[in-house]
Amino acid sequence: MVTGFLYDERFLDHDAGARHPERRERLTSSMAHLRAQAWFEELHMLAPRTADESWIESVHSSDLITRARSACEQELPYLDVMDVGVSRDSFDVALLAVGGAQTLADKVVTGEVDNAFALCRPPGHHAEHNQALGFCLFNNVAIAARYLQKQHGLDKILILDWDVHHGNGTQHAFEADPAVHYTSLHQWPLYPGTGRADERGIEAGRGATLNCLMAPGQGDDDYRRVIEEQVLPELDRFAPQVMLISAGFDAHQADPLSATRVTETGYLEMTRLVTALAAQHAGGRVLSLLEGGYDLDALAASVQIHVESLLDAPAG
């Protein structure tokens, strides 16, 4: 397998504020750990581009884009809500994160790489149509899915979100769209309070949303069981053409923002299970984007095992 890896030091220029958990060290510590791995040189290095704002508007309102640009130009401390800290460069970095997701989409669909991971920030899955939320300015994975639909003509797209927090913005973007299946495993109850098990999509998209609620204290065996018993059978029926992963690693037992007990072994098993599904239905095509993960050592180790698993994934 050829695994793409996308990173850019400009992702470090987003400053969410002093003592904010979404800090630049999340990437610098992960990169230091990855570079120490013997297999790191096997990765196919990818560079992000800055997304055109028209693609941001495929998911978000023009008003949100205007507010985001203005907040950063004025060097305001936050955008919309206090947990979305911003700085002068945050708008440009957010466009770069979206463009990085689009770069992965192009490289995977055209076959330059078989699968790919983006070590990027700011994260995106909480961002709503007209509101920045939960550390997120723009919804990277949702815009990538729209890009795959509109630019590459795909009509069966899977978004698997295993961040410990429910991806409210992603679910709401596609809850009426039967062509995009959104599946989430998240701690319940926990921020942002969305993602109940009975939220299954609306209108034409009814049945294309699956929320799997994980209780505090649940760990590797519980996640594996839920994926095997609930997630894989449904996604096997959906038969996606491509898989996107909102790869948050804050379900880790060391993470300060959650109470679940996943370890690196759990992320290894989850990656192996879903890449096997991708090999069966999607030619092995997987695009993985970093979301949460706030203990630096746990994040670095989890990213390592995830990327290594992508390198070892079965071919489609």
pLDDT at 316: 80
Render pLDDT for 209-218 as a digit per residue (tens, 0 to 9).
999 999 999 9
Burial of 250-267, coded b for 16+ CB within 10 Å and e otherwise, reads bbbbbbebbebbbbbebb
| Residue 126 designated active-site | yes
User: Which residues make Cβ contacts (< 8 Å) with residue 261, sequence separation at least 6?
Assistant: 217, 218, 219, 220, 253
Q: How far is CA 91 from CA 48, 115, 131, 243, 312, in A?
A: 15, 27, 14, 27, 35
Provide the 3-class DSSP secondary structure of residue 287: strand
pLDDT tens for each residue of 113-136: 999 999 999 999 999 999 999 999
Domain map of the chain by residue range? Answer: 3-311
pLDDT band at 1 (very low <50, low <70, confident <90, very high): confident
Q: List pLDDT tens digits, range 151-209.
A: 999 999 999 999 999 999 999 999 999 999 999 999 999 999 999 999 999 999 999 99
Active-site residue identified among 14, 125, 126, 165: 126
Tell me if residue 134 falls in helix, strand or coil: coil
Tens-place pLDDT, residues 3-60 = 999 999 999 999 999 999 999 999 999 999 999 999 999 999 999 999 999 999 999 9
Query: At how many degrees (to 10) do helices 140-150 and 90-109 cross?
Result: 40
Architecture of 3-311 per CATH? 3-Layer(aba) Sandwich (3.40)
Retrieve residue 272's tokens.
């192996």
Instruction: Give the mean pLDDT of 95-100.
Output: 98
